Amino acid sequence: MSDDTNTLPDFGPQTRLVARVAEGVKDDQLDGPTPCPDYAVRHLLGHVVHLTGAFADAGRKRLGASTDTDPSSSVPDLGEGWREDLPRLLGELAEVWRDPAAWTGETRAGGVELTGDIAGVVALNELVLHGWDLARATGQEYAPDEASLAVSYAMVSATAAESPDARGTMFGPPLPVADDAPLLERVVALSGRDPGWRP
């Protein structure tokens, strides 16, 4: 393994955490609310299934329907077998992004052209934020690894600095949070979510 490979973010801890949270979702919680106003739990899970497959294809540079679909074009839902499919897809995602080639060149996700390194950061940030959304919506503990949180914080803080009203970004306007708040709370607030949200 090269020194460059050692510096790449490892999706493994975060994909395993999201898989654990998804496993903890009870069937009677699927229609409950989430911090994403337009999504019930089932829609949020459907979104995670779709984005996991899309960013795996983006990392492979296997461009097509999964990478070209705008996620805001429709409300996602769960298909049959999602409890088996999601852990498998998360494992595949982590494996794809262990390959240094995934972080190079040009690719696409959500119909947007991205460099490989930016696509990797966006994918990991999506897992961090939507993992929090899912855990909070279903009353589960949630503690991402420090490295994944650091990647997510770098992205959301840069986005907030460049566009304080969140115009043209994938986030809502940042919410105020104390400078000494835990890093996860700062990530959540900078993405436009209320760290104190409860269903």
Lowest mean pLDDT segment, chosen from 85-94, 148-157, 162-171, 189-198? 162-171
User: Which pLDDT score is estimated for 1?
Assistant: 33
The string of pLDDT tens digits covering residues 9-24 is: 999 999 999 999 999 9
The string of pLDDT tens digits covering residues 161-181 is: 887 766 555 778 889 889 899
Tokens (6 digits) for 112: 């947007």
pLDDT at 146 over 90: yes
Residue with tokens 């595949």: 92
pLDDT interval class at 2 (50, 70, 90): very low
d(CA 131, CA 120): 16
User: Which pLDDT score is estimated for 64?
Assistant: 92
User: Which pLDDT score is estimated for 76?
Assistant: 85
Q: What is the pTM of this model?
A: 0.93
User: Which pLDDT score is estimated for 182?
Assistant: 96
Per the CB < 8 A criterion, the answer to whether 89 and 78 are in contact is no
The string of pLDDT tens digits covering residues 121-145 is: 999 999 999 999 999 999 999 999 9
**How buried is 65 (Cβ within 10 angstroms: 0-12 exposed, 13-18 middle, 19+ buried)?**
exposed
User: Which pLDDT score is estimated for 167?
Assistant: 59
